[in-house]
A = this chain, B = another copy of it.
């Protein structure tokens, strides 16, 4: 038994046994054709419906949201979500479509919403019945998130929302949005307030944006006098920036509360962007002069990526040993940057290794791994740009962890 497993509590071990059994008893049937590779790539209702069905089943079985209190749709467990995640991932369970709801909205609601809202909004997030999207970014507010210009004007017990949000993944499937809006022009940071906005109300126009890949996947959302109730405000007026920080902390995976998620496993079919898939690819891929796996330069580059990948998973164990760290957030805050750049660099290596065949698109019969790699490379920029670009991540790490002076 490895030490990593020995570190789990008896409750966790029991829960793992339960999860494993449930997953055995509930095998996932065949999926509709053309399933996307992740939640942000969902474009067809049929795919969404399939994934929502399975999320609901897993929630009913207690595998999703299990570390949340019972009254909010959880199970009141401790540190069990990571177990459920591991088991679902291992079992090849379908990925959970409600990614914004689970990873961003739920923890924010838990920390900042009224008791009434928690009881109302959290259970359908876990069950997957209500899909969520995020309304932070705007044309003029990307890295400079606090520059949000969408306004919320108070009118009695209501707020009137006007403005323009962009890069809104899943907007067309969503029932709710977490929304950052300006309630005061006189102060950049203290002039923001955080709401949850019903996407089913009048005054909302959703218009798809084409991604670099040519696929549509996210949207622009225009608000024109959308009226929302004051009860949909989270925390106080003017505290939107602080509330948004809670959201981002969880999005970047830097919090203690684990997000329910299924990591697609490499099933030897080259469907995942990881070192193992790359090594498999290298056994057949070639530009000129034999497979990449027999080329010392590619072997070296493959090992460089494998080492980065393995170090990233090794961080998890070391993060639990205070004596082996200099700063409590030092590893956690690297998470997003490491993941996103590793995927980008891995896909880039795959393009190099596949040479001329890297020109072939998804759908071309001769494309290596079905054309995964050029699309993985293009999509990788989503992760190095969204939720704080890699440049912003480096500012954060330099300032919060190393204590260097703020660049802005």
Chain B residue numbers with a CB within 8 Å of A297 are 296-297, 300
Interface: A295 (CB within 8 A): yes
Q: How far is the CA of A300 from the CA of B300 in the complex (A)?
A: 12
Q: How far is the CA of A295 from the CA of B295 in the complex (A)?
A: 11
Q: How far is the CB of A24 from chain B (nearest CB, A)?
A: 47
Chain B residue numbers with a CB within 8 Å of A295 are 296
Q: Closest residue to A295 on the B side, CB-wise?
A: B296
Give the contacts of A271-303 with B (CB-CB under 8 A).
295-297, 300
For the complex formed by this chain, how many copies does it contain in all? 2
Q: How far is the CB of A302 from chain B (nearest CB, A)?
A: 12
Q: How far is the CB of A322 from chain B (nearest CB, A)?
A: 36
Q: How far is the CA of A58 from the CA of B89 in the complex (A)?
A: 77
Q: How far is the CA of A292 from the CA of B139 in the complex (A)?
A: 52
Q: How far is the CA of A296 from the CA of B298 in the complex (A)?
A: 10
Q: How far is the CB of A70 from chain B (nearest CB, A)?
A: 54
Q: How far is the CB of A150 from chain B (nearest CB, A)?
A: 28
Q: How far is the CA of A296 from the CA of B296 in the complex (A)?
A: 6
Give the contacts of A285-331 with B (CB-CB under 8 A).
295-297, 300
Q: Closest residue to A299 on the B side, CB-wise?
A: B297
Q: How far is the CB of A307 from chain B (nearest CB, A)?
A: 15
Chain B residue numbers with a CB within 8 Å of A296 are 295-297
Q: How far is the CA of A297 from the CA of B302 in the complex (A)?
A: 13
Q: How far is the CA of A283 from the CA of B295 in the complex (A)?
A: 21
Q: Closest residue to A301 on the B side, CB-wise?
A: B297
Give the contacts of A235-259 with B (CB-CB under 8 A).
none
Q: How far is the CA of A35 from the CA of B296 in the complex (A)?
A: 41
Chain B residue numbers with a CB within 8 Å of A300 are 297
Chain B CB count within 10 A is highest, among A295, A296, A300, for A296
Q: How far is the CA of A297 from the CA of B297 in the complex (A)?
A: 5
Q: How far is the CB of A405 from chain B (nearest CB, A)?
A: 15
Q: How far is the CB of A215 from chain B (nearest CB, A)?
A: 33
Q: How far is the CB of A238 from chain B (nearest CB, A)?
A: 32
Give the contacts of A356-385 with B (CB-CB under 8 A).
none
Q: How far is the CB of A352 from chain B (nearest CB, A)?
A: 12
Q: Closest residue to A300 on the B side, CB-wise?
A: B297
Q: How far is the CB of A349 from chain B (nearest CB, A)?
A: 14
Q: How far is the CA of A295 from the CA of B300 in the complex (A)?
A: 12
Q: How far is the CA of A297 from the CA of B295 in the complex (A)?
A: 9
Q: How far is the CA of A296 from the CA of B297 in the complex (A)?
A: 7
Give the contacts of A185-223 with B (CB-CB under 8 A).
none
Q: How far is the CA of A297 from the CA of B303 in the complex (A)?
A: 13
Q: How far is the CB of A292 from chain B (nearest CB, A)?
A: 12
Q: How far is the CA of A111 from the CA of B296 in the complex (A)?
A: 56
Chain B CB count within 10 A is highest, among A295, A297, A300, for A297
Q: How far is the CA of A95 from the CA of B164 in the complex (A)?
A: 66
Q: Beta-carbon contacts of A112-148 to B below 8 Å, as 1s and 0s?
A: 0000000000000000000000000000000000000
Q: Closest residue to A296 on the B side, CB-wise?
A: B296
Q: How far is the CB of A80 from chain B (nearest CB, A)?
A: 46
> Which A residues are closer than 8 A to B by beta carbons?
295-297, 300
Nearest 3 pairs of A and B residues by beta carbon: A296-B296, A297-B300, A297-B297
**A–B complex contacts, Cβ < 8 Å, 5 sampled:** A295-B296, A296-B296, A296-B297, A297-B297, A297-B300
